[in-house]
C-alpha cells in the first residue's frame, strides 16, 4: 500500500507543469514548480521540517518544547503542522494588520496567536520582534527558529527543491527563477543547481520594485512574502546571476492571468516570479528551459489580488474578473 506515515511525509516532491497561454511565441520552455501542492500549501513546509529536524538534533528544541516565531503566514502553517505531529506547542506573534482569516488558519492547526500593534517601531518593547524574543526566552522549552537567519532554510532547498528540479528536467534546466524573501529558496536551490550543472544553470532572483535585493531602499510594495528592507543571512548574494525587479501592478496582473489562463490559483509572489521568468524565456529563445518556482496558492489572496475593488483602489485593475472592460464591477 502507498500510504504516507504522516502528513509531514507529504512535504516536497511537488510537480513541474508547462506554462502555455501566457508565454510569448518564440520563447523557451517555461515550467512552473507548483509549491502549493505541499500539505501546508506552500514551499515553507520544506524549511519548517528541516529547521525542526536540525533543532531536535542540536538539542535546541526538546520534547514538549514551544516554537515561537514572528510569522503570520506560510512559515507558521508549516511549523504548526510539523509541530503538532511531533508534540510541540506553537506560539506565533503577528502584527495587528494581519487579517483575522490568516490568524484563524494558524489557530485551526492548533497554534496560539499573539497579536501586537503594527504602529510601533521595531525597537519598541511591544513590537512583534521583541515580543517573540521575550516569549522564546520566557516560555519553558521556548525555541525561535528565525527563518531569516536559520541555515536550515536554504539547506532544505539545497537538499530537496534543487535535486527535484534537476531530476524532473533530466538535467536540461538552463535557468532557475524564484522570488526572494528570506532568500532561502534562491540560495539553496540555486546553489544546488549550479553545483550539479558545473555552473551552467543561471539563477535569476526576483523582487518587488523598491526592495533591497534589486537595489531599492525598502520602499513599500504590496506583493506579500518577498522583498526586504534589510539583508537576511539566509540570502547568499553570490548565487543569483541577476535580479529582476517587478512592479506590484505587473505582478498582480500576471497572478490573475495564471488563474484564468493556466488554471493555477496562486499568490501574488508567483505572478511576480512569472513576469521575470517570461522575460528570461523570451530573451533566451527556444532552447532555454526555464523553471520558475511558485511558492503558494491563491486562496489567501481572494480579498486582495482576486478582488476587483481592491485592485482598482490601488490603480492596478487592467482587466476585471468578469472580462468586461467597463468599471461597473468596481
Ligand atoms: N513567496 C511567498 C508567498 C512567501 O511566503 C515567501 C517566503 N517568505 C517567498 C515567496 C520567498 O521565499 P524565500 O523566503 O525562500 O526567499
Condensed to tens digits (0 to 9), the pLDDT of residues 11-63 reads 999 999 999 999 999 999 999 999 999 999 999 999 999 999 999 999 999 99
**Is 201:193 a contact under the CB 8 Å cutoff?**
yes
Strands 242-246, 202-208: pairing is parallel
Burial 99-125, CB ≥16 within 10 A → b, else e: eeebbebbeebebebebbeeeeeeeee
pLDDT at residue 183 greater than cutoff 70: yes
Please check the confidence at residue 128 and state whether its pLDDT lies above 90. no
What would the mean pLDDT of 230-255 be, rounded to a whole number? 96
Cell output for 236: 547568499
Which residue has the CA at smallest separation from atom 2 of ligand 1? 225
Across 59-75, average pLDDT: 93
Site to substitute for ligand 1 among 47, 150, 153, 179, most atoms within 8 A of C-beta? 179
pLDDT band at 118, cuts 50/70/90? Answer: confident
Please, are residues 264 and 270 in contact by the beta-carbon 8 Å criterion?
yes
Q: Could you tell me if 235 and 185 are in contact, meaning their C-beta atoms sit under 8 angstroms apart?
A: no
**Residues 6 or more apart whose Cβ sits within 8 Å of residue 328:** none
CB of 182 within 6 A of ligand 1: the answer is yes
Ligand 1 close to Cβ of residue 269 (< 6 A): yes
**Strands of the sheet with 29-34, listed across from one edge:** 16-18, 29-34, 289-294, 175-179, 202-208, 242-246
Positions annotated as catalytic residues are: 44
**What pLDDT is attached to residue 324?**
64
Predicted confidence at residue 248, as pLDDT, reads 96
Residue 40 near ligand 1, beta carbon < 6 Å: no
Ligand 1 centroid to residue 329 C-alpha, Å? 32
Ligand 1 centre distance from Cα of residue 182 (Å): 7
Residue 326 has pLDDT above 90, yes or no: no
With the most atoms of ligand 1 within 8 angstroms of its CB, the residue from 36, 41, 43 to mutate is 43
54-80: burial string, b at 16+ Cβ within 10 Å, e else:
bbbeeeebeeebbbbbbbbbbbbbbbb
* Nearest ligand 1 atom to alpha carbon 270: 1
Rounded CA separation 78/85 (Å):
11
Residue 52, Ramachandran bin (φ over 0: left; ψ between -120 and 50: alpha; else beta): alpha
Q: Is 239 in the pocket of ligand 1 (CB under 6 A)?
A: no
Q: Kindly report the pTM of this predicted structure.
A: 0.95
Residue nearest ligand 1's atom 6 by CA: 225
What local confidence, expressed as pLDDT, does residue 91 receive?
A: 97
Q: Is the pLDDT of residue 70 over 50?
A: yes
Find the 286 Cα to ligand 1 centroid distance in Å: 29
Mean pLDDT for the chain overall: 94
Left, alpha or beta for 199 (phi > 0: left; psi -120 to 50: alpha)? left
Neighbours of 86 (CB within 10 A): 18
CA of 179 to the centre of ligand 1 (A): 7
pLDDT at 325: 55
Contact 166, 173 (CB under 8 A): yes
Closest CA to 174 of 13, 14, 30, 18: 30
**Whose C-alpha lies nearest to ligand 1, atom 5?**
225
Amino acid at each position: 500500500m502507498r500510504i504516507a506515515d504522516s502528513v509531514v511525509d507529504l512535504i516536497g516532491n511537488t510537480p513541474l507543469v508547462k506554462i502555455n497561454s501566457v508565454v510569448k511565441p518564440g520563447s523557451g520552455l517555461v515550467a512552473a514548480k507548483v509549491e502549493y501542492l505541499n500539505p501546508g500549501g506552500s514551499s515553507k513546509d520544506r524549511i519548517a521540517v528541516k529547521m525542526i529536524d536540525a533543532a531536535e538534533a542540536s538539542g535546541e528544541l526538546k520534547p514538549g518544547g514551544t516554537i515561537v516565531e514572528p510569522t503570520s503566514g506560510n512559515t507558521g502553517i508549516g511549523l504548526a503542522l510539523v509541530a503538532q505531529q511531533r508534540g510541540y506547542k506553537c506560539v506565533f506573534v503577528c502584527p495587528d494588520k494581519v487579517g483575522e482569516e490568516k490568524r484563524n488558519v494558524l489557530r485551526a492547526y492548533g497554534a496560539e496567536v499573539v497579536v501586537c500593534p503594527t504602529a510601533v517601531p521595531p525597537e519598541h518593547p511591544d513590537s512583534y520582534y521583541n515580543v517573540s524574543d521575550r516569549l522564546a526566552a520566557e516560555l519553558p522549552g521556548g525555541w525561535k527558529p528565525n527563518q531569516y537567519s536559520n541555515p536550515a532554510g536554504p539547506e532544505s532547498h539545497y537538499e530537496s527543491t534543487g535535486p527535484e528540479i534537476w531530476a524532473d528536467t533530466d538535467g536540461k534546466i538552463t535557468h532557475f527563477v524564484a522570488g526572494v524573501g528570506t532568500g532561502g529558496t534562491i540560495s539553496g536551490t540555486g546553489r544546488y543547481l549550479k553545483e550539479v550543472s558545473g555552473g551552467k544553470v543561471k539563477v535569476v532572483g526576483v523582487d518587488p520594485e523598491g526592495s533591497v535585493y534589486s537595489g531599492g531602499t525598502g520602499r513599500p510594495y504590496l506583493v506579500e512574502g518577498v522583498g526586504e528592507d534589510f539583508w537576511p543571512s539566509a540570502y547568499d548574494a553570490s548565487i543569483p546571476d541577476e535580479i529582476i525587479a517587478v512592479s506590484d501592478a505587473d505582478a498582480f496582473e500576471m497572478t490573475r492571468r495564471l488563474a484564468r489562463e493556466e488554471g493555477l490559483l496562486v499568490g501574488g509572489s508567483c505572478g511576480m516570479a512569472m513576469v521575470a521568468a517570461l522575460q528570461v524565456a523570451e530573451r533566451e529563445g527556444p532552447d532555454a528551459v526555464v523553471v520558475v518556482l511558485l511558492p503558494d496558492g491563491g486562496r489567501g489572496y481572494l480579498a486582495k489580488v482576486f478582488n476587483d475593488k481592491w485592485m482598482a483602489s490601488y490603480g492596478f485593475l487592467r482587466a476585471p474578473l468578469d472580462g468586461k472592460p467597463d468599471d461597473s464591477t468596481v
